[in-house]
């Protein structure tokens, strides 16, 4: 689906923008889906760069599961949901993008951005699934729908290029959202 940012999302985007204000970037890209692009526009005002929309940075397309809750998916697609629970894979989603297509799309987009901007920092505003694919690529592992990294909305993940190789320098940094994350934390 392509919903706009909620009030909470706009607040988180503003906190992210304040954290990034004053930083210099050689390029700025964003998913063209509303929630990501609105976030990018809010951040763009603070960093004084306009984001370039890029459809290849969209979240995975979930076909017939798009917009449904997990309860609705389990009820409407019991076999597919059972398969997902046993072994998550984008390939079990009826009418969805699928694992190979999603990973190929994201990988090609990031490689294209990296080729175009070999120097300086590039800012990308995108979705959790896209970030997961990027992180899995760095560690040379297919994601298959399994997300072992926690990625909060409006978090910062940093991947650096060193001597032609990618290195994960930070994942899910939410220091700027600390009060939001702390209030949502579950007791241990």
Q: What is the set of domains in the chain, with CATH numbers?
A: 7-59+98-184 (3.40.50.1240), 62-96 (no CATH)
pLDDT at 60 over 90: yes
Contact 126, 31 (CB under 8 A): yes
The pLDDT value recorded for residue 164 is 83
Q: Over range 169-188, report the average pLDDT.
A: 74
The pLDDT value recorded for residue 56 is 98
SS3 169: strand
Give strand pairing partners of 31.
54
Range from 85-94, 121-130, 138-147, 177-186 carrying the lowest mean pLDDT: 177-186
CA geometry: angle 139, 143, 146, nearest 5 deg: 120
Which of the pair, 179 or 18, is modelled with greater confidence? 18
| Structural element, H or E, at residue 156 | strand 156-162
Q: What is the pTM of this model?
A: 0.90
CA distance 124 to 53: 10
* Long-range Cβ pairs for the range 44-47 (8 Å, 24+): 45/17, 46/17, 46/18, 46/20, 46/21, 47/17, 47/20, 47/21, 47/22, 47/23, 47/123
Q: Which of 104, 78, 87 is nearest to 145 (CA)?
A: 87
Tokens of 39: 């976030």
Residue tagged 């005002």 (tokens): 45
């Amino acid at each position: 689906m392509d919903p706009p940012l909620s009030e909470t999302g706009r607040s988180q985007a503003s906190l992210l923008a304040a954290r990034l204000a004053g930083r210099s970037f050689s390029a700025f890209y964003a998913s063209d889906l509303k929630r990501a692009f609105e976030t990018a526009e809010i951040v763009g005002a603070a960093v004084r760069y306009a984001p370039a929309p890029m459809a290849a940075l969209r979240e995975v397309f979930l076909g017939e599961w798009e917009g449904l809750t997990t309860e609705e998916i389990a009820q409407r697609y019991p076999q597919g949901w059972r398969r997902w629970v046993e072994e998550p894979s984008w390939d079990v989603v009826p009418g969805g993008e699928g694992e190979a297509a999603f990973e190929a799309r994201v990988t090609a987009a990031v490689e294209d951005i990296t080729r175009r901007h070999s120097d300086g920092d590039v800012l990308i505003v995108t979705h959790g699934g896209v970030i997961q694919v990027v992180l899995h690529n760095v560690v040379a592992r297919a994601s298959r729908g399994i997300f072992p990294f926690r990625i909060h909305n409006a978090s910062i993940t940093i991947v650096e290029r060193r001597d032609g190789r990618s290195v994960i320098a930070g994942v899910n940094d939410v220091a700027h959202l600390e009060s939001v994350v702390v209030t949502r934390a579950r007791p241990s």
